[in-house]
Amino acid sequence: MPPNMSLFSVNAILLLSTDDGSRILTRYYSPPHIPQGAQGNNHPGANPYVSVKDQKAFEKGLIEKTAKQTSDVILYDNRIVVFKMESDVMLYVVGGAEENEIMLYNVILALRDSLNILLKNSVDKRTLIENYDLASLCIDEIIDDGIILETDPISISSRVSRPPAQDVPNMQGIDLSEEGLLKIYQFGKAKLGERLRQGL
């Protein structure tokens, strides 16, 4: 049987509060293609946490298991879980049991470092909730539907914080002096006069 040749490698990314175990931001992914001969959710890589109840039970057990761990990688519920703690927030990346731990560890480091860059080294629950859009975009730049796209925190944070080039207006040819504004006003006044004469 041929090995799994899918790029899908991340089952979930979780940002949970260590105080009460509540969710700050969670993303669960399912593989885009079901392997040949598999049905439903009983194939390797499938996301068994379909309902919110299952997800919260998994997250609660995960917080309890990792609260007293000294390592960054564990096997929990037949999944490889890589995690990092930042002040009062736990960052988790969950992959299948057959996934490469080093690759998942690179994802968690990219997430941690890019959040530190974007939030100016203030990654805590309150800051993450206030900057939910940046954290969400950061995760979207790292992972798309369970496929790892980028692990360089500098390029991730620059893509998240910089607006796209086509949305920025070109201000180089505009004269904003008093004389330039007077010319713009006269041009607009003349065009409006023409439109009014044409309409009457």
Domains in the chain, CATH or no CATH each: 10-161 (3.30.450.60)
| Beta bridge partners of residue 76, listed in sequence order | 79
pLDDT-derived band at 141 (thresholds 50, 70, 90) equals very high
Strands 143-144 and 147-148, sheet pairing? antiparallel
- Residue-wise pLDDT for 94-129, tens only, equals 998 888 899 999 999 999 999 999 988 888 999 999
Min mean pLDDT across 29-33, 86-90, 157-161 is at 29-33
Per-residue pLDDT band at 43 (split at 50, 70, 90) = low
**Nearest-angstrom CA–CA distance, 80 and 102:** 11
CA distance 63 to 86: 14
pLDDT at residue 14 above 80?
yes
Mean pLDDT confidence for 131-149: 92
Q: What pLDDT, on a 0 to 100 scale, did the predictor assign at position 68?
A: 82
CB distance 132 to 25 below 8 Å? yes
Which residues pair with residue 165 across a beta bridge?
A: none
Tell me the C-alpha distance between 98 and 14, whole Å.
20
- Tell me the C-alpha distance between 98 and 148, whole Å: 16
What single-letter amino acid sits at 2?
P
Top mean-pLDDT range of 42-56, 115-129, 156-170, 177-191: 115-129
pLDDT at residue 1 tops 50: no
- Helix extents (H) in the chain: 52-66, 101-118, 125-130, 132-142, 153-161, 178-199
Of 82-91, 138-147, 162-171, the least confident: 162-171
Crossing angle for the helix pair 153-161 and 101-118, to the nearest 10 degrees: 40
Measured distance CA(196)–CA(47) in Å, rounded? 64
Whether residue 143 has pLDDT greater than 80? yes
Residue 4 in this model has a pLDDT that exceeds 80: no
pLDDT, position 121: 87
Q: Return the residue matching tokens 């990092």.
A: 84
pLDDT at 200: 59
Average pLDDT, the chain: 84
Whole-angstrom CA distances from 33 to 5, 22, 99 are 11, 31, 17
Do 112 and 84 form a contact (C-beta atoms < 8 A)? yes
